[in-house]
Amino acid sequence: MASSSSCRAWYCLLAIFLLSSAALGQLSPSFYDASCPTLQRTVRATVMTALRGERRMGASLLRLHFHDCFVQGCDGSILLDDVGSFVGEKTAFPNVNSVRGYEVIDQIKTNVELLCPGVVSCADIAALAARDGTSLLGGPSWAVPLGRQDSTTASMTEANSDLPAPSLNLDGLTAAFAKKQLSPRDLTALSGAHTIGFSQCQNFRGHIYNDTNIDPAFATLRQRTCPAAAPAGDTNLAPFDVQTPLVFDNAYYRNLVARRGLLHSDQELFNGASQDALVSQYAANRALFASDFVTAMIKMGNLAPPTGAVTQIRRNCRAVNS
């Protein structure tokens, strides 16, 4: 009986330590080394299984983490379902019928809870899944700082206002990233995530029909599956990188130099302005891009919830603990 009480007390002390450390913003790659030593292997194995079923999922998990961090910080708020009067971020314009990977996060959470119940946040799972989705598609890996907590709130308003739109020009993109304490270099490096994955016709229609800073042959190629008149073909997909859409490399930047960026916002990075030189460097030097991408991902991953926000370790990533 005494040993059982001691065990319960030890778990309580551990939970208090984890919560207090995370609340102080002390993110560390070793945060779960004692409390959940198999966490990273579990996440990677689950992501690997998901990618065997659909390699595109690697890009989707990376995007999910980005869309989480740009709204209220990296707090798992994007994972919350609309329930009753609670309105989350999933139906915000940049996310609805677009952001994917929720089921993969659910599966990772289920697998982790079997091993380490009540310990690992959904926000940390999303960050690890983004890293593994990237590296399993040939991109860099990195030590993910951990110790985030999950929000008890979400903000559709902030999702609609703060997630960068594909129609933004360079000034708009720079301002959107600066609002998150991310530099123009971070912007250009993080945009390289578009070396994998796909986008919907409604996001690039204006660029391929109306813009002049686009290779005519590339515009014609994309117009074949993206009709000029909306809403016809709105959800038709096209790869960001037509050469290697499921390999994380630096082809995205070579495409920009060749005026083959899929989105208006993509091509804005190479359009006779401040980021042209960096885009050219990344196009020529994959290692430089990979290094800067990792630096920017860690910096973005450190975006914290607002001061005073109520947080927790959710049992179910889709719902606040009752």
What residues are designated binding site for Ca(2+)?
68, 71, 73, 75, 77, 89, 195, 241, 244, 249
The catalytic residue among 65, 67, 207, 264 is 67
Q: Is 152 exposed, middle or buried (CB count within 10 Å of its CB: 0-12, 13-18, 19+)?
A: middle
Q: Decide: helix, strand or coil at residue 67.
A: helix
Contact 267, 214 (CB under 8 A): yes
Q: Report d(CA 13, CA 64) in Å as an integer.
A: 32
Q: Is 264 one of the catalytic residues?
A: no
- Sort strands 237-239 and 150-151 into parallel, antiparallel or unpaired: unpaired
The residue type found at 50 is A
* Residues in CB range of 79: below 8 A, 6 or more apart: 68, 102, 105, 122, 126, 317, 318
Binding residues for substrate: 164
Find tokens 């708009």 and name the residue: 172
Binding residues: 68, 71, 73, 75, 77, 89, 164, 194-195, 241, 244, 249
Contact 146, 124 (CB under 8 A): yes
- Torsion, Cα 49 194 219 269, to 10 degrees, reads 180
- Torsion, Cα 110 116 117 118, to 10 degrees, reads -110
Residues serving a catalytic function are 67
